[in-house]
Structure 1
Amino acid sequence: MVVATACLHNQRQSRHREDSVVTCLRLRGPHLLANTPPGFLGLGNNGTMPVLNDEVPDEGDYDANRRRGEFDHITPEDFIRGSGHGNPPGWLDSGEITRIRRETPMPYVVVVPVRVDDFGRISKVGSLLCVSEDGSVERTLIAGRVLYHESVREAIARNISKDLGDIALPTLPQSLQPFTVAEFFPTPGISPFYDPRQHAIALCYVVPIPGDCKPQDETLDVEWCDAQGEQLTECIDQMANGYGEIVRRALAWAGA
């Protein structure tokens, strides 16, 4: 009986160590193996290993209390979702993002907010009144970058929340297939879409907004136009840099 109990205890300890190793491998992936001495699977101090976005330990991990410098007090959720008030902690500063914008295309999502009737047909189309970089007021759509380690679906939800508030209650698309892809170039005339800051590739989605909108961040107001009314044509004509064309394509795609 004593021998059997000891064997069972040893098996449990072995299984616990294996579970710990699996947890570490899931958290660290190839970075763990690359920075771990032979025969040692990261169950001790790995203070020399660089900490990347997806390497921030969760609460309860063996190294959760290890000092991480500027990444102290930051959780994985901070990187994935952000704080709702600008970029997540540790993200690129304005100088770096400006440099990268001059060198590589940027992934974006553009959202056409709509109201729908009881049959799912578009009844109203929303547009944002925002303050542009030169201080003027412009009419536009919900648009924003896809952040590092963020899915397209999360990017859609985050940018809607950033502009319309947390109680807009968007109905996110079941499929991630966009109704169109808008290619924004920093040179006018190459395409209908123009962005002087960057070359951006934008996936465009129609998203119903059944909740209440509370404009925030740089959004001054949200205006809704009847999908069949003359006011919508005026709103589309007021959208610069090709956003009006995105609304036209959205209505054609939805059969409105």
Structure 2
Amino acid sequence: MSGVASSDRGPWLDPERLELIRASVPLLYVEAIPVRLADDGAITHVGLLLGAPRSDRIERALVSGRVLYLETIRQALQRNLDKDLGPMALPQLPTSLVPFTVRQYFPHTLDGEGGQVSYDPRQHAVSLVYVVPIAGDVQVDGDCLGFDWYPIADASSASLATELASGHAEIIAQLAASCR
């Protein structure tokens, strides 16, 4: 796969410039739902990070991150999975880049809007969500405090939903419903 090396993308945006951009245009993100599969390909478990990705509280979340300038969606997925789950996770990226679902995150609530709209106080973002089987061992590092696997039957429980970042409970519920 040809692509642009990380150093060719230029420097990370400084915080002031990123804040200005977030206030001006929607940003593109990818989110990955780590899953374990049975021998027949059925989803048995969903993996969730433990950390403080979008708020001041400890919460569970999906793998998530921006698509960088000149980066393909596949490269963004791989980079964010490697960053959050470690190099030995061995994610099996989808052959098709058609997402499982698409979410929008807004910096304020939208009255009368339902469905695929969630809250992110930092920005308006559009996120392409992918289901990604994990074949190896997860080793979190950096901002993550931990990682846990949940049986798919329990992943959409009300008690777990209260621990999830904005929008992620709905994504997990949608996945669980598609597995029934």
Relative to the length of structure 2, the TM-score reads 0.88
Equivalent AA in structure 1 for residue 75 of structure 2: E
Question: In the TM superposition, what are the counterparts of 1:32-111 in structure 2 within 5 Å?
Answer: 77-79=5-7, 90-111=11-32
**Deviation by residue 1:110-149 (Cα, 9 ceiling, x = unmatched):** 1111111111110111111013465431111111000001
Is the contact made by 1:101 and 1:197 (CA closer than 8 Å) also made in structure 2? yes
Q: Which deviates further from its counterpart, 126-135 or 199-208? A: 126-135
Task: Show the counterpart of 1:236.
Answer: 161
Distance 1:207 1:181 in 2: 15
Find the counterpart in structure 2 of residue 210 from structure 1: 135
Larger helix share, 1 or 2: 1
Root-mean-square deviation over aligned CA pairs:
2.0
Is the contact between residue 226 and residue 232 of structure 1 (CA under 8 Å) also seen in structure 2?
no
Give the equivalent residue in structure 1 for 2:48: 127
Kept in 2: contact 1:185–1:193 (CA 8 A):
yes
Is contact 1:139-1:240 (8 Å) kept?
Answer: yes
Deviation at 1:105, TM superposition (A): 0.3
**Is the 2:156–2:172 Cα contact (8 Å) retained in structure 1?**
no
Q: 1:134 to 1:117 in 2, by over 3 A?
A: closer
Matches within 5 A, 1:175-214: 175-189=96-110, 190-191=113-114, 192-214=117-139
Contact 2:46 2:151 in 1 (8 A): yes
Deviations 1:88-115 (A, max 9, x none): 7522111111110000000001111111
Runs of 4+ in 1 over 6 A off after TM superposition: none
Q: Tell me: CA distance 1:132–1:152, structure 2 relative to 1, closer, same or farther (3 Å).
A: closer
Matches of 1:201 and 1:77 in 2, distance apart?
Answer: 24
Larger radius of gyration: 1
Alpha-carbon distance change, 251 to 97 in structure 1, aligned in 2, over 3 angstroms: same
Secondary structure at 1:250's aligned position in 2? helix
SS, match of residue 228 in structure 1: helix
Segments of 5+ residues of structure 1 without an aligned counterpart are 1-53, 55-75, 81-87
Q: 1:237 to 1:131 in 2, by over 3 A?
A: closer
CA distance in 2, matches of 1:175, 1:89: 28
Residue 115 of structure 1: which of 36, 44, 58 is its match?
Answer: 36
User: Partner residue of 1:168?
Assistant: 89
Question: TM-score normalized by structure 1?
Answer: 0.63
Amino acid at match of 1:107: L
Work out the CA distance in 2 between the residues paired with 1:199 and 1:150. 20
State how far apart, in whole Å, the 2-side matches of 1:187 and 1:156 are: 27
Distance between the aligned counterparts of 1:141 and 1:133, measured in 2?
Answer: 12
- Contact 1:79 / 1:149 at 8 angstroms: preserved in 2? no
Q: How many residues align?
A: 173
Task: Give the fraction of aligned pairs with identical amino acids, expressed as a percent.
Answer: 40
1 or 2, which has the higher strand percentage? 2
Q: Say which of 53, 64, 88 aligns to 1:143.
A: 64
Alignment partners' CA distance in 2, 1:94 and 1:130: 21
